[in-house]
Copies of this chain bind each other. A is one copy, B any other.
Amino acid sequence: MTATLEHITTCDCETGAASAASQDPRIARTQLALREAFVSLLEEKGFEGITVGELCARANINRGTFYNHFRDKETMLHTYEDEILADLNRFQKAITGVGLRELVRFRIAKRPLPFLVELFDYLREQGSFLHAVLGPKGDASFGPKLRDAVCSKLIMSVLNEHYQNNPTPFVNYYVAFYASAYLGVITRWIETGMQESSEEMARIAMRLLFINPGEAITL
């Protein structure tokens, strides 16, 4: 276990993922089998319960082959996680483009924001991995990463200028509050099997921005 040595792969694959860009079909086959075995085992026993040997057995891969692709299972997990986060960065422009006024316009028209629909579509696409990794035996650190990559930026862009320019302690909690709230919605949607359609979820997400428990006092 020489932690300082750099990892040397015999294959020159760039991402370490089951990317379709792999020239050699052997690599693609191995990567795909490893990913599927990893997700199913992650779902069953949680990350720490996974053994490299068991993973390879399920993937019908020799244990030595695993080490041709990943330094260890932590690297494997983070590779997959980073792919998701990189994908989510593609929503960056759409997210920061959301102003509160535009949001209100869509809400009045009772139409879901297109980029929100696309976001939930993408999350559904990655549902099996996300369900496993966001679960109780998944990876503790991924929730916050997801929150920072999506939810926080979303809230920041919707915050009105008054709050954006006054970084008081309260505003920081304000952002943490709503960012965590949306992570909670996403997590619940994924954990409960993504019953609702992406359009429904987009609508729910928008509606939650205009309701709060305090105003219910008027009812």
Residues of B within 8 A of A214 (CB): 100, 103-104, 209-211
Copies per complex?
2
Task: Decide yes or no whether A136 CB sits under 8 A from chain B.
Answer: yes
Q: Find A181's partner among B138, B139, B178, B209 (CB 8 Å cutoff).
A: B178
Q: Nearest Cβ distance between residue A27 and chain B, in whole angstroms?
A: 29
Complex CA–CA separation, A104 to B143 (angstroms)? 33
Contact B48 A162 (CB under 8 A): no
Task: Decide yes or no whether A85 CB sits under 8 A from chain B.
Answer: no
Chain A contributes a number of interface residues (CB within 8 A of B) equal to 54
* Contact string against B for A residues 136-161, beta-carbon threshold 8 Å, 1 for contact and 0 otherwise: 11111101100100000001001110
Chain A at the B interface: mostly helix, strand, loop or mixed? helix
Residues of B within 8 A of A141 (CB): 136-137
> In residues 156-210 of chain A, which contact B (Cβ within 8 Å)?
158-160, 162-163, 169-170, 172-174, 176-185, 187-189, 195-196, 200, 204, 207-210
**13 other A-B residue contacts (CB within 8 Å) besides A137-B140, A155-B213, A180-B183:** A48-B48, A138-B140, A160-B216, A169-B195, A169-B200, A170-B207, A173-B185, A177-B181, A177-B184, A179-B184, A183-B184, A209-B212, A210-B212
